Structures are given as structure tokens and as C-alpha cells.
Amino acid sequence: MASVSTASTLSPDLLSQINGSNGTAKATSAEGQDRFLKLLTTQLRNQDPLNPMDNAQMTSQLAQISTVDGITRLNATLEKLVGSQQGAETLQAAVLVGRDVLVEGKSLQVAGAGAAGGVELGADADRVEVTIRNANGIPVRTISLGELDAGTHKFAWDGKSDSGAQVADGNYSMQVKAYSGTAAVDAATLQVSRVSSVVRESTGVSLDLGSQGRVGLDSVKEIL
């Protein structure tokens, strides 16, 4: 008498068959569900009547396909949310075009009446000093900002050297030092940059600052 094919002759893991035996061929959600139903029907039709598939095994198979479908739907929803979020960020960033912002950097552009910059402190400081240097790296002015709290602060430079002479227009750099008592405080200089355009990239929304390059929207410390 010919024996009846049993469920054990087929892979008990329908999910691995849906994804491909070598794990490289991934089915779409609709294709996966169709293949799952066909494989499950084949298992049930060919199972040994004396040793049928138990409820626990069938529940496990159903849970696997449900999980795959759920993850696929979740991924699609997340992609839509990310797209919507990027669109909202682009619209928000568009209002910055033509505006000046403070971003991390050390450049100062002097044109006529001086320039402006900023500092960012990691902790409260009782003494903050900014040294401004010309294109040759020679110090031309040291500005004392006094006592400042942790956070972002702006300062203005009248474009004059320590001797009181007006410096020439052009590019200058700045360096900040901050102290709490005798201990140094983490500090960084912030430069004023004008936003020329907004760029939507794969990593998010970026601001084009012209010759100063691009920065992420989250790099803006303050809008002036």
C-alpha cells in the first residue's frame, strides 16, 4: 500500500520558503501571502491523517506571515511619515532664505562698520575673551565679553584694532577662550552666515550658505 505524504516531508517553516531557500529572493507582501496560502494548503492536503499538523504549528505559521505583512505595512507608513516631515522642514527652512544665521565657524567679514559674531559656552564662565586675527594670523583685537552663562551669545565688533585704528575690509578669524575661575570652559566661535537657498537632500534639509558651504537645519544656533 502506498504511503501518504506527510507534512514532515515539507519544510515546517513556510516563511523561509516564501523568502526563497537561499534567503536572497524576497517576495512582496502580496506575493508572499499568495505563496503562503498555497504552501499551507499543500501541507494540509498532504499531511498524514494519523499525524496531522498540530494547532501550535499552524498558529506559528500564521503568525509568521502576519508579522511579515505587518512589518511591510509599517515600513510603508514610516516612509510616508518621513516624506511628510521632510516636506514640512523644507517649508519651514524656506523662510530663512535671505536671513542671517549663527552657525559654528570662525570667520568674520569686515565691510565698513565692523562685523558680528557669536560664542557658544558649554558651562557658565566668569571670563570670556575673543581674539580676532587678520588674514596673516596676526592678532588685531581682543574683546572681553565678561561673565556669560552657558549657551549661545552674540557680540559686535566695531572693526577697530586694539590701538583704535579702523582695520581694512576683508576676512578675519576669531578664537574664543573661556574660564570659570582658573578652569577652562568648553567654548566655540559662531559666525554670521547668510542663507542663499534651501536644499533637500537624502539626509535631510540643508541650508546653502554660499561660499561657506552647506549645513544641516539643526546646525543653526540662532536666527538673526
Q: Average the pLDDT over 48-60 and give the result.
A: 65
> Degrees (nearest 5) of the Cα angle 165, 167, 168?
140
Write down the pLDDT at residue 5: 42
State the Cα–Cα distance between residues 110 and 41, nearest whole angstrom.
79
Q: Average the pLDDT over 121-149 and give the result.
A: 97
Alpha carbon 221 to its chain centroid, in Å, reads 16
Write down the pLDDT at residue 75: 73
Poorest-confidence range of 45-49, 95-99, 181-185?
45-49
Q: Average the pLDDT over 53-58 and give the result.
A: 64
Identify the residue with better confidence: 148 or 76.
148
State the Cα–Cα distance between residues 207 and 92, nearest whole angstrom.
11
Whole-number average pLDDT of the chain: 80
Confidence band of 11 (pLDDT split at 50, 70, 90): very low
96: its cell numbers: 530663512
State the Cα–Cα distance between residues 27 and 55, nearest whole angstrom.
26
Tens of pLDDT, residue by residue over 34-51, are 776 777 777 767 766 666
Write down the pLDDT at residue 71: 73
Whole-model pTM?
A: 0.61
* Domain 100-223, CATH: 2.60.40.4070
Write down the pLDDT at residue 24: 45
Domain positions in the chain? 7-94, 100-223
Write down the pLDDT at residue 18: 52
The pLDDT of residue 22 is above 50: no
Tens of pLDDT, residue by residue over 143-178, are 999 999 999 999 999 999 999 999 999 999 999 999
Q: Average the pLDDT over 92-103 and give the result.
A: 89
Sign of CA dihedral 41, 47, 49, 50: negative
Write down the pLDDT at residue 158: 93
Write down the pLDDT at residue 21: 46
* 194 strand-pairing partners: 100
- For the chain, first and last CA: distance in Å? 90
Write down the pLDDT at residue 205: 83
* % of the chain exceeding 70 in pLDDT: 67
